[in-house]
Structure 1
Amino acid sequence: MQIGANSLLQEMQSLSGEIKPSGFNSGFSSPITQQVSNTSGSDFGQLLSQAIGTVGELQANSGSLASRLDMGDTRVTLSDTVIAREKASVAFEATVQVRNKLVEAYKEIMSMPV
């Protein structure tokens, strides 16, 4: 089954509006979606680097919220921490899947006869 990039992006954008909890203000404004929609003049390496940087930021934010919650910071709620952790987890899993597809494509290209 082939999934088009545009239909996948539209579905992700529609779902991102549904999962934003009210009152959650961690500074996350869906940078991955912004990067994907602004791909007109960017090369693949830059996009991949930015996406990996965004995943790192999500993981750092998740770790920071978890540490603050463990330390007893009253400004951080359990739900904010769990949501940040899940966002980081989903972003990491997506990155792993992209890496797997790239490795698979590379192996396929390398096994082609010249």
Structure 2
Amino acid sequence: MTTQAIAEALQQLSSLAEQAQGASTRNANPAASGFAGELESSLQRIVQLQRTASTQANAFQAGSSEVSLSDVMADSQKASVAFQMGVQVRNRLLTAYKDVMAMQV
């Protein structure tokens, strides 16, 4: 991975974090704020990306002239990357939980 690709990935992550920050500040439920709220909004974003990719693919397969193959592939890759990120976050959380549970008090 090149330095430019890493910089672009970091920029996308920071923009997603800003979007999540805006979504959590608009949330009126105080119980959903904090880490749990951020996690939930991230999961909802992943689901939305997967729905968008599925909708685009179905429209392309149906022969819609409004959807191009490049749009379908881009949305599919966005959904795939978001899902993989979610899996990695889950794995890190499980590892952290196991580490905390293994600590002697």
The two structures have a TM-score, normalised by structure 1, of 0.70
Name the structure 2 match of 1:66. 57
Residues 68 and 95 from structure 1, CA distance in 2 versus in 1: closer, same or farther, beyond 3 angstroms? Answer: same
Given the alignment of the two structures, is residue 35 of structure 1 paired with residue 20 of structure 2, yes or no? Answer: yes
Identity %: 35
Q: Mapping of 1:1-114 within 5 angstroms?
A: 12-13=10-11, 16=12, 33-36=18-21, 42-114=33-105
Q: Is the 8 A contact 1:31 1:54 kept in 2?
A: no
Which stretches in structure 2 are left out of the alignment for 5+ residues? Answer: 1-5
Residues 59 and 98 from structure 1, CA distance in 2 versus in 1: closer, same or farther, beyond 3 angstroms? Answer: same
Once residues 9 and 73 of structure 2 are traced to their aligned partners in structure 1, the CA distance between those partners, rounded to angstroms, is 23
Residues 32 and 75 from structure 1, CA distance in 2 versus in 1: closer, same or farther, beyond 3 angstroms? Answer: farther
Structure 1 position 75, deviation (Å): 0.3
Structure 1 position 106, deviation (Å): 0.3
Aligned length: 92
Cα-Cα RMSD: 2.8
Residues 12 and 95 from structure 1, CA distance in 2 versus in 1: closer, same or farther, beyond 3 angstroms? Answer: same
Q: Is the 8 A contact 2:24 2:37 kept in 1?
A: no
Once residues 86 and 47 of structure 2 are traced to their aligned partners in structure 1, the CA distance between those partners, rounded to angstroms, is 11
Structure 1 position 33, deviation (Å): 4.2
Residues 90 and 10 from structure 1, CA distance in 2 versus in 1: closer, same or farther, beyond 3 angstroms? Answer: closer
The two structures have a TM-score, normalised by structure 2, of 0.75
